[in-house]
Structure 1
């Protein structure tokens, strides 16, 4: 993984913790949450306060996420909202943390100027030892306070102030006044500067979890289903009507279609569909070259396409399916009938413009894993797992490509691949598409 780290493709955008003051605050929060501390004097943290260096030193990379269910967090600065979330067990966790920091930024800025804020993403489930337990998760509530209990004390002081104002005898209550003065020294004037964090809870209808080999749960759609990366038979009975695994290509395609979750790349407006498909073809060639033991060191796009021409008859069906689609789009060639049975099918799709587009693109990345760019952008955990098993020459090629083509303009790349404009109205083959769908009839 060293080449990924060196290129900023792994552990990128982490927040450095090097001052003795911040290290001391981090240790105080760490002790508060876990009973542990670290002897490290500098390290890096993600949006949740997790540090890979601290995890290595403690020999416990789940020190803030025991059981992988209720993520704990340590905030030293509001700048953590720009950092990634490492080792995510649920796809929603980073968005929840980012929303919490953003919505409470002024208050958190004031609190972290004096102390660390420690907290937890709390749901009704404390253990997910059985797959069915995942379906008991309905919402996540964010709980947080400083290590000194500033929020708790501020609430208590606010209640005392209300009592002091309302009780006619409060002026003579020396104990109440003394307690108010003591708390005010820690919290400041809560009447002028109230120290409160907005209560935030988030519905958990649609999400991915790393548990049980990887599972996508879609409960908040018209036709709910769960989709497992592992054999669905290993999950037992689940409280959802439909359960698919990655072998159920036709049924997953129907699920996407019935819920309006995907759109074809070539029918999407505002993107260079041919360029996107050609890049996917290049990645498929790279994968085939790895299997054939071809050295890709320093290979350019021209070299990759040269390999494709020289070994076209040895390339997989994914390549030939996309080639036919490009020929249709660029050269007015015959319409290719690519059904969900075809290995290229999921490579031809992207998420439609819905609230679940990131989750859908994440699932599509796993269904079309040879597109390493989409896998890296949409599903970091799956990318790193796949990367570990590649040949050295493919690792080098992919790392160089991502540094050159993606790191230079992340926002632009994401917009070009996944951004949405109005759907195309003047598409060729309209009558055919109306009859059988853009990829032909989807068979069950």
Structure 2
């Protein structure tokens, strides 16, 4: 993993905590949440305030996420909104924290200027004893305050001020006035500068969780289903009609189709289908060559073509299917019939622009694991886990490729692969018509009428 860390592909964009003042604030929040403190002179934190170094020191990398249900967080700066979320147990957690910070940025900036903000992502489930309990999670509420209870005291001061304004003869109530003055010394003038947090409740409809081996829950779609990484029989009875595992390729394909969640890459608006397919094929060649101990040299396009020629009939079906599709894209040959039973099928799809686009692309990455670029972008937990078991040649190639082709323009790479970012309603934010000519006439082109 040192190779990934050195290239910024692991633990990248973490927030450094180096000053004694910030460390003191972090320790106050950490003690309030967990009863523990760190003695480190410096460390790094993610969006939730979790630190890999502190986790090593405490011997507990879930020190802010006991039971993996109600994640606690420590905010030292609003800059944490750009940091990743490490050890994610739910796919929605980072999005909730990001929206919470962005929608309360002015208030949080004011609060973190003097103290740390500590809190928790609360739901009604405190321990996941069975997969069925996942379906009890419907809403996540963000509960937060400074370690000095600034928000609670500001709220209390607001109530006292209202009492002072409405109570008869309040001017003569020395106890009330003294309490107001004492609180105001801590909170400031809440009448002119009110400090309240908004947007603290978030619906959790469709999500992925790492619990029970990994489960995708789609319940806010027309045809709900749960998709398990482990055999579905291991989940027991679930309160949802359809339950699949990764071996149910036909059923998953049908589920994605009838809910209109995916689109073929070759007909996706704005996608350079040939370039995307060719790169997927390169990744498959690297995997096959490294598994057989074949040398791919520096890993350039000529090296990979030579490796593909050397492999010949030993190239896997995923490569053969994508090659046939690439021939259709570039030369207009016969349309290849790639059904959901074909190993290349899920490599040919991407999520349509909608609110759960990232979740669907995450599922597709798990169904097409040889596409290491999509795996790294969409499912880092699985990427790191599988990376550890790769041959050294593949590790080096993938790390070099991601550093060279992805790190320099992450937003551009995501846009080229998956299309423009959808807004919160799921609509495509790119101006222009929502359907281009390929959507209307299909991949075979328009049928022209004979001129009379």
Q: TM class by shorter-chain length?
A: over 0.9
Alpha-carbon distance in structure 2 between the residues aligned to 1:427 and 1:151: 56
Q: TM-score, normalised by structure 2?
A: 0.94
Which of 404, 407, 429 aligns to 2:444? It is 429
Equivalent pair of 1:122/1:140 in contact (CA under 8 Å)? yes
Report the Cα distance in structure 2 between the residues aligned to 1:80 and 1:295, rounded to whole angstroms: 42
Contact kept, 8 Å, 2:297 with 2:303, in 1: the verdict is no
Secondary structure of the corresponding residue to residue 311 of structure 1? helix
Map 1:104-253 onto structure 2 (within 5 A).
104-253=104-253
Superposed CA deviations along residues 294-339 of structure 1, whole A, max 9, x for unmatched, are 2445221220121112222110000000000000111111110000
Residue 426 of structure 1 and its aligned partner are, at CA, apart by: 4.2
Counterpart position of 2:427: none
Alignment of 1:72-111 (within 5 A): 72-111=72-111
Aligned to 1:15: 15
* SS of the residue 1:244 aligns to: strand
Return the alpha-carbon distance in structure 1 between the equivalents of residues 166 and 10 of structure 2. Answer: 57
Cross-structure match for 1:364: 364
Cα offsets for 1:408-428 (capped at 9, x unmatched): 111110010001574423444
Contact 1:338 1:344 in 2 (8 A): yes
Matches within 5 A, 1:277-316: 277-296=277-296, 298-316=298-316
Report the alpha carbon displacement of residue 199 of structure 1 after superposing the two structures with TM: 4.3
* Structure 2 alignment gaps of length 5 or more: 421-429, 448-452
Matched-pair contact (CA < 8 Å) for 1:17–1:44 = yes
Matches of 1:430 and 1:220, distance apart in 2: 34
Cross-structure match for 2:423: none
The answer for the alignment partner of 1:378 in structure 2 is 378
1:11-41 deviation per Cα after TM superposition (whole angstroms, max 9, x unaligned): 0000000000000000000000000000001
Instruction: Report the more deviating stretch, 345-354 or 192-201.
Output: 192-201
Distance in 1 separating the partners of 2:376 and 2:157: 49
Shift of residue 395 of structure 1?
0.6
C-alpha separation in 1, matches of 2:199 and 2:174? 33
SS of the equivalent of 2:9 reads coil
The alpha carbon displacement at 1:58 in A equals: 0.3
Alpha-carbon displacement from aligned partner over 1:83-127 (angstroms, at most 9, x marks no partner): 000010000000000000000000000000000000000000000
Paired position in structure 1 for 2:343: 343
Q: How far has the Cα of 1:195 moved from its partner?
A: 1.1
Post-superposition offset of 1:168: 1.4
Deviations 1:173-198 (A, max 9, x none): 11111110110010000010001111
* 2:40 aligned counterpart, secondary structure: coil
Name 1:35's counterpart in structure 2: 35
Asked whether the 8 Å contact 2:103–2:199 carries over to 1, the reply is: no
Supply the distance in 1 between the matched residues of 2:50 and 2:18 (Cα, whole angstroms): 15
Q: State the TM-score, normalizing by the size of structure 1.
A: 0.96
Q: Displacement of 1:358 after TM fit?
A: 0.5
Q: CA RMSD in A?
A: 1.2
Give, in whole Å, the separation in 2 of the partners of 1:40 and 1:65. Answer: 20
Q: Distance in 2 between matches of 1:323 and 1:316?
A: 11
Residues in 2 aligned to 1:322 and 1:431: alpha-carbon distance in whole angstroms: 24
Name the SS of the counterpart of 2:121 in structure 1.
strand
Instruction: Specify whether residues 428 and 79 from structure 1 end up closer, same or farther in structure 2 by C-alpha distance, changes over 3 A only.
Output: closer
Contact residue 297 and residue 393 of structure 1 kept, 8 A: no
Equivalent residues of 2:46, 2:83 under 8 A apart = yes
The residue correspondences of 1:317-336 to structure 2 (distance < 5 A) are 317-336=317-336
The answer to whether the 8 Å contact 2:47/2:82 transfers is yes
| Unaligned segments of structure 1, at least 5 residues | 433-444
> Who is 1:437 aligned against?
none
Q: Which residue of 1 aligns with 2:416?
A: 416
**In structure 1, how many angstroms separate the alpha carbons of the residues matched to 2:277 and 2:159?**
62
SS where residue 144 of structure 2 aligns? strand
CA contact (8 A) 1:297 1:397 kept: no
- Equivalent residue, structure 1, for 2:426: none
The farther-off stretch of 169-178 and 11-20 is 169-178
